[in-house]
Chains A and B, each alone.
Chain A
Amino acid sequence: MAKMTYIKAITSGLDQVLNDDPKTLIFGEDVGKNGGVFRTTVGLQDKYGEDRVFDTPLAESGILGLAIGLSLTGWRPIPEIQFMGFTFEAMDGIVGQLARDHYRFGGQKNFPVTVRTPFGGGTHTAEMHADNLENYFTSTPGLRVVTPANPYDAKGLIISAVESDDPVLFMENLKLYRSMKDEVPDEKYTVPLDSAKVVREGTDITIVAYSAEVNESLTAADALAKDNISAEVIDLRSLSPIDTDTIFASVDKTHKVVVVQEAQRMAGVGAVVASDIAEEKIMSLDAPIGRVAAPDSIYPFAQAENDWIPNADDIEAKAREIFNY
């Protein structure tokens, strides 16, 4: 077992699936010789050849069309959209076509496409690069949406995503790429596509988060612990579907919950989680459901990102408010 960054763990997972299945293909803008603008696919073209790992012309809708057509001829495509902000150019491909095609065929054909794309704030990227656009995709039936919050899950989830016969949107957090290291097994393992994980056990309040906000929530939980408030932190990992069983079990234990997201409040994975809890577990709650989210402005200009993205202090404050309700 080696210590690996989040990005290396993804590379390791991609290496594994390319090795396991000769029908897997990686393609997109700059993914070949350059190994991706973040180097996520570095070395893979050398190892597996230009037939398996290749650059495309610069057009996201074309990339998705390619993925769908390759599925129809027996391939297992892993296209990269260079930044999540660019997925708008591929919206018909992902949402209009890919997510529906298995259904349109009445289940006769599979479209086992994994769309990888980096997202998330805090690294001062140019405009339209870092936005949290998950809400557009989590409200799309037929599409699975996952996002790891640590290197171990990153490798296990990318392998599960590629092996799944359903189309999966695999969101990679820009800030996490190189900011954290974990023990990551060299050998193959998988992390299930539809399960949340309790990443810190606690008894007084549940904090539900995903992606970079999981780390912020863990920091908040440390601060709360100093005042003997025991917070349980859940990493959603899968944004569609949402693993309500894990959340409900925790709510039954703590009776108080805060739902955290980096995206704007109105763009609501958090809203879905809150409504699921309200629908099924309202009698178990001792306080209103707390929400922490970015404000409903357009994604901020890069210099002001850190004033806008919810952080550990925001989560701690909201958790205290709900705990003391």
Chain B
Amino acid sequence: MANGSKQIVDFAKIKATMADPYKHPVQVIDREGKVVDPDTLAKYSDDQLVDFMKKMVWERTLHEQTMNFSRQGRLGFYAPTAGEEASEMGSVTAFKENDFLLPAYRDLPQMIQHGTTVAKGFLWSKGHVQGNQHENPNMLFPQIIIGAQYVETAGVALGIKKNGDEDRVAFVYTGDGGTSQGDWYEGVNFTSAFQAPAVFFVQNNGWAISVPRYKQTGAETLAQKAVAMGVPSVQVDGMDIVAVHEVSKAARDFAAAGNGPVVIETLTYRYGAHSSAGDDPSRYRTKEEEKPWFDADPLIRMRKVLTDKGVWSQDQEDKLVDEYKDEFKEAMKEAEAAPAQKVSDFLKWTYNVPTPAVKKQIAEFEAKESK
């Protein structure tokens, strides 16, 4: 090109600035435990903050106990959650019982908080139908086909809108890899087209099994993807439970008021393996990468804030851990006592009205099962 000639559009500049609105993830407490947004923190009573901490200790203990159970062969597929406590507990606690949760497989802790039991969570992992039958009917089972929960969210949100339900939203989770799925875009876009009430969470934990976040897309942030669908979005420090909760609450309020959906990207980290089924992170990431994330731990910084306030002690935490461990061991006993499943039941649930062939097979299996 000739010297001094100016192109009609400066793509280089557009590219360099398109992530500008996302340069500063929302944060209330920084990685050192320093309060960087005292005004927001002041909105929370000590009791609320202690409750946040308890929930994170609960989830960390659940993680550790499930890893033990996995080693003992007492669980099936299980997705470890250590590192994601602030992201998961901070978000789910912003929603009401009547809100509809569409979880993925790393979201058992949120499901339990939203209204199922730990035993049901274990039964899901072990492969038992009762693991899909929850006390709170306002949730689906964990989605396995990544992205499918996003398009289904569009339907739940539209259904809520059509029913005229007041103060009710759908909320849904996926990971960083999930944002590469076509269904991710279809789900957010449909919800936007219908201006239906939903909050879409992307828990960016850095890794989709062994593929790092930067290999998923050329976009600098995942949050900015929402812009293309006309949906407001934000990046939040996913290791800061107060920030996650505050952002989630604002998103819920916005969606419930009839303004359409919101996308929230939480910046977090998966401390452990992708799943309990043989994944080994040392194959694809280094200790040098992990260290700063372990140092940014959501429990460490909250522990510091609460200890400084004089409302938390190590003693108290140790006692809680013991209590929670007992709770999880009891839950495992309950899960292990669930009745054996019957193929005849599987056949009965395949159709509302069994087809002639299925009817015949039900009779065959019932005869076998009664022996």
Contact = CB atoms under 8 A, between A and B. Distances in A.
Contact of B132 (A70, A104, A144): A104
A106 B348 CA distance: 9
A67 to B, nearest CB: 6
Given A72-B156, A107-B348, A93 B148 contact: yes
A317 interface: no
Interface in B78-94: none
Given A68-B152, A106-B345, A245-B356, A59 B190 contact: yes
A98 to B, nearest CB: 10
Interface in B106-151: 129-130, 132-133, 140-141, 145, 148, 150-151
A314 interface: no
B157 interface: yes
Main secondary structure of the interface of A (DSSP, over half): mixed
Contacts of A142: 350-351
Nearest to B150: A65
A222 interface: no
A62 B154 contact: yes
Contact of B133 (A106, A144, A245): A106
Interface residues of A, number: 44
A72 B187 contact: no
Contact of B130 (A77, A93, A106, A244): A106
A77 B162 CA distance: 12
Contact of B186 (A65, A69, A164): A65
Contacts of A104: 129, 132, 141
A305 interface: no
Interface of A: 25, 51, 56-57, 59, 61-62, 64-75, 77, 92-93, 96-97, 102-108, 110, 141-142, 144, 164-166, 194, 240-241, 243-245
Top 7 nearest A-B pairs by Cβ distance?
A: A69-B155, A65-B151, A73-B159, A241-B355, A62-B186, A69-B156, A66-B155
26 contacts: A25-B162, A51-B162, A57-B186, A62-B154, A62-B187, A62-B190, A64-B151, A66-B155, A68-B152, A69-B151, A69-B153, A69-B158, A72-B155, A73-B155, A73-B160, A74-B163, A75-B162, A77-B155, A96-B148, A103-B350, A106-B130, A107-B348, A107-B349, A110-B352, A164-B353, A245-B356
